[in-house]
A and B are shown apart, each in its own frame.
With several copies, the nearest count.
Chain A
Amino acid sequence: MTARLCADADDAVAGVRDGSTVLVGGFGMAGMPVALIDALIRQGAKDLTVVSNNAGNGDTGLAALLAEGRVRKVICSFPRQADSWVFDGLYRAGKVELEVVPQGTLAERLRAAGAGIGAFFCPTGAGTLLAEGKETREINGRLHVLEYPINGDVALISAHRADGMGNLVYRKTARNFGPVMATAATTVVVQVRETVETGAIDPETVVTPGIYVDRVVKVADHA
């Protein structure tokens, strides 16, 4: 179904259920859907599994969601950062589960979810701690690990511009996880800096076609 333009960020994240898996775009602050995360904090869903590259910085955004005790599990590639004290404290206190996934495998598992691939043999991490307990197989003389898709109930992503169909373009390295996460969740919510008329985005340059987008909300750019 074609995308819906939402009145505000609260409208955009309405209905997220307790226990949901939430994919959150961004790499550092680039592409981080700040307004949607803030709205999710207000919305109140708890017992969440959050899939994102990092596990929150400082005291806002994902860190604030974590601090409220709303996150049961984090699936990410790089939780530990100079300013990830909220996550660090919860983790050391045993109050949040952590699944660490190599960054490229995280992206590929999200892609597999979106692309209907049941599982894939991946050379990354073979023979390391992160492959423990996973099925492995040697293919063409190289050890591979069997990796499964990561499906989201909801994806929260940030893009630069949307048209009336929900077609999206991104800007520079803020593109990062947005396009793959948009394919991998049941409900895809996008915050954009600007909306344009359908037809105003050159069809050759669309990065995320509107088929993947459920809700769009225009928010002021805090950058």
Chain B
Amino acid sequence: MSHTSSRAPGQGPLSKHDIAALIARDIPHGSYVNLGIGQPTLVADHLSPTAGVVLHTENGMLNMGPAAHGDEIDPDLTNAGKVPVTELPGAAYFHHADSFAMMRGGHLDICVLGAFQVSARGDLANWHTGAPDAIPAVGGAMDLAIGAKQVFVMMDLFARDGTPKLVSECSYPLTGLACVNRVYTDLAVFDITEHGVSVRQTFGIEVHDLADRLGLPLLTGSPR
């Protein structure tokens, strides 16, 4: 598939929900998927029940349903973000070692994660700012980063201070090495390939402008 601009340049960046919808459309029918915690969980809202996508939550469940409301709320049933959720037909429960064995063993098709930074090689930084007074807390981030057949990152392309989050080398402490396959952002979607960063789609920005702002060489054309 060659590079496409889904929106005309100038139409502006995607919202978080637009990005989530885009990711949802790219998940093949019948995939087993983990959406981590935080922003990537928005993807669930855009998955049609007919897509046959099965959600894994690392605290021990397959076929997790939507967030629980009202009487559905059961303190024994939460997602990895500790939010009450529901159970779909065909669900299965298992303990933590089995759940992470499932992940580490490469049985999930896709994992979607947030990120502080992704490098051109696919290194991921999403657990620690490296600030000297920060209390380190990794949770399942490192397991998710190395576990799925494909790791998708969902993030804004630039930090609030304007610095790129897709970089030649991560400056934040790493979560995993060369583990990211695709990066979905407000301005473009990138594949991390063995030849470098390839642009799949842009949203309101031309590729040469993107390359300038990122300070990275960008491939276009056929991703692997």
Residues of A within 8 A of B (CB): 1-2, 27-31, 77-81, 87-88, 91-92, 98, 100-105, 107-108, 110-111, 113-117, 122-130, 143, 160, 163-165, 167, 170-180, 183, 198-199, 201, 203-204, 206-207, 209-212, 223
Residue of A nearest to B106 (CB): A116
| Residues of chain B in range 61-76 having any CB-CB distance to chain A below 8 Å | 61-63, 74-76
Are the CB atoms of B142 and A125 closer together than 8 Å?
Answer: yes
The one of B75, B91, B95, B108 in contact with A178, judged by C-beta atoms closer than 8 angstroms, is B95
Q: Flag whether B26 is at the interface (Cβ < 8 A).
A: no
Choose among B61, B90, B128, B137 the residue with the greatest number of A CB atoms under 10 Å from its CB.
B90
CA distance A199 to B103 in the complex (A): 24
Report B-chain residues with C-beta under 8 Å of the C-beta of A170: 93, 95
Known: A30-B77, A143-B177, A178-B95. A77 touches B104 (CB 8 A): no
Contact with A along B132-171 (1 / 0, CB 8 A): 0111111111110011000000000000000000000000
The one of A102, A115, A175, A180 in contact with B138, judged by C-beta atoms closer than 8 angstroms, is A102
Are the CB atoms of B75 and A223 closer together than 8 Å?
Answer: yes
Are the CB atoms of A129 and B128 closer together than 8 Å?
Answer: yes
Residues of B within 8 A of A (CB): 28, 30-32, 52, 54, 56-63, 74-78, 82, 87, 89-97, 99-109, 128, 133-143, 146-147, 173-177
CA distance A189 to B147 in the complex (A): 23
Known: A115-B101, A128-B142, A180-B95. A30 touches B76 (CB 8 A): yes
Known: A29-B75, A30-B78, A102-B140. A127 touches B95 (CB 8 A): no
Known: A174-B76, A210-B92. A183 touches B105 (CB 8 A): yes
Are the CB atoms of B77 and A172 closer together than 8 Å?
Answer: yes
Enumerate 6 A-B pairs (CB-CB under 8 Å) in ascending A order. Answer: A77-B137, A116-B147, A172-B93, A178-B95, A206-B93, A206-B94
Are the CB atoms of A80 and B135 closer together than 8 Å?
Answer: yes
Are the CB atoms of A126 and B177 closer together than 8 Å?
Answer: yes
Are the CB atoms of A116 and B63 closer together than 8 Å?
Answer: no
Known: A78-B139, A102-B140, A175-B94. A2 touches B54 (CB 8 A): yes
Report B-chain residues with C-beta under 8 Å of the C-beta of A173: 57, 59-61, 76-78, 93
- The minimal Cβ–Cβ distance linking A191 to chain B, given in whole angstroms, is 14
Residue of B nearest to A129 (CB): B173
Choose among B61, B106, B137 the residue with the greatest number of A CB atoms under 10 Å from its CB.
B137
Report B-chain residues with C-beta under 8 Å of the C-beta of A167: 90, 92
Known: A107-B100, A179-B95. A100 touches B173 (CB 8 A): no
Are the CB atoms of A108 and B101 closer together than 8 Å?
Answer: yes
Are the CB atoms of B90 and A163 closer together than 8 Å?
Answer: yes
CA distance A179 to B106 in the complex (A): 16
Known: A1-B109, A165-B63, A223-B75. A104 touches B140 (CB 8 A): yes
Are the CB atoms of A88 and B77 closer together than 8 Å?
Answer: no
Are the CB atoms of B137 and A78 closer together than 8 Å?
Answer: yes
- The minimal Cβ–Cβ distance linking B19 to chain A, given in whole angstroms, is 25
CA distance A29 to B104 in the complex (A): 25
Are the CB atoms of B78 and A111 closer together than 8 Å?
Answer: no
Report A-chain residues with C-beta under 8 Å of the C-beta of B102: 183, 209, 211
Report A-chain residues with C-beta under 8 Å of the C-beta of B63: 165, 203
Residue of B nearest to A110 (CB): B97
Known: A124-B104, A129-B173, A176-B59. A107 touches B138 (CB 8 A): no
Besides A122-B104, A124-B143, A212-B107, 9 other CB < 8 A contacts?
A: A29-B75, A80-B135, A103-B140, A115-B104, A117-B104, A123-B104, A165-B63, A207-B95, A209-B94
